[in-house]
Amino acid sequence: QLQLQQSGPGLVKPSETLSLTCTVSGGSIRSSTYYWGWIRQPPGKGLEWIGSIFYSGSTYYNPSLKSRVTMSVDTSKNQFSLKLTSVSAADTAVYYCARQFWTWYFDYWGQGTLVTVSS
Amino acid sequence: QSALTQPASVSGSPGQSITISCTGTSSDIGDYNYVSWFQQHPGKAPKLMIFDVSNRPSGVSHRFSGSKSGNTASLTISGLQTDDEADYYCSSYTSSSTLVFGGGTKLTVL
């Protein structure tokens, strides 16, 4: 059974960089069928796609976040990561990692990490 | 990119059927069969209910079905049960090689 385990700080100061990692177990991140994505959900609001990455490093980003987002993959650790720079209170949200099939649906999700941006 | 349009809320009684709409444009729903639907209970991660417009993942009840007409996709839940009460989100691939979600619909089972 595939599992995605998220890790990273739950509190980030304004203007600093948010960093999260998603570790995949029960399957290989080196798959030609899947991308690996990040989605966030501000408290009480809807889902927002942040971006997706292939194991080769190829990425797709949400245009509204593209200037601040970097995704990377570490195949040796079966992990992928998210960095979001220059955060503000508007970036406070539950962040999810997920496996994305090539037809752009997410079938396995991480547990979610609430990241609060506050000094 | 603009979010797909969903009704904020729908409601139904146990045993009834309801349909949630998800309206996009010719650059997303209208041009691709890459529409999916998610169910989210409070405090939980979203759960995939429908993918590629009308396909159900293994383990999802046959009471859930999806369809598409033009720029609008729909999720129908038949034989409503109390556990179906949740938030539902649609998503679609877009011509810009991005993904867009709907704003979400709160389903209340009366």
**A79-97 per-position pLDDT tens digit:** 999 999 999 999 999 999 9
Q: What is the mean pLDDT of residues B59-75?
A: 98
A63, B98: Cβ pair inside 8 Å?
A: yes
A49, B101: Cβ pair inside 8 Å?
A: yes
Q: How far is B44 from chain A (nearest CA, A)?
A: 8
Partners of B38 on chain A (C-beta within 8 Å) are 47, 106
pLDDT for residue A33 is more than 90: yes
- Cα dist. A80→A16, A37, A101 in Å? 20, 9, 16
Asked whether B87 and B106 are in contact (CB, 8 A), the reply is yes
Partners of A107 on chain B (C-beta within 8 Å) are 48, 51, 57
pLDDT for residue B2 is more than 90: no
What phi and psi values does residue A21 have, to the nearest 5 degrees? Answer: -130, 145
pLDDT for residue B43 is more than 80: yes
Asked whether B108 and B16 are in contact (CB, 8 A), the reply is no
Which residue of chain A comes nearest to B48, CA vs CA?
A: A107
Q: Is B96 helix (H, G, I), strand (E, B) or coil?
A: coil
Average predicted confidence (pLDDT) for chain A: 97
**B71-88 per-position pLDDT tens digit:** 999 999 999 999 999 999
**A11-21 per-position pLDDT tens digit:** 999 999 999 99
Match 């999720």 to its residue by tokens: B75
The tokens of B95 are what?
């011509």
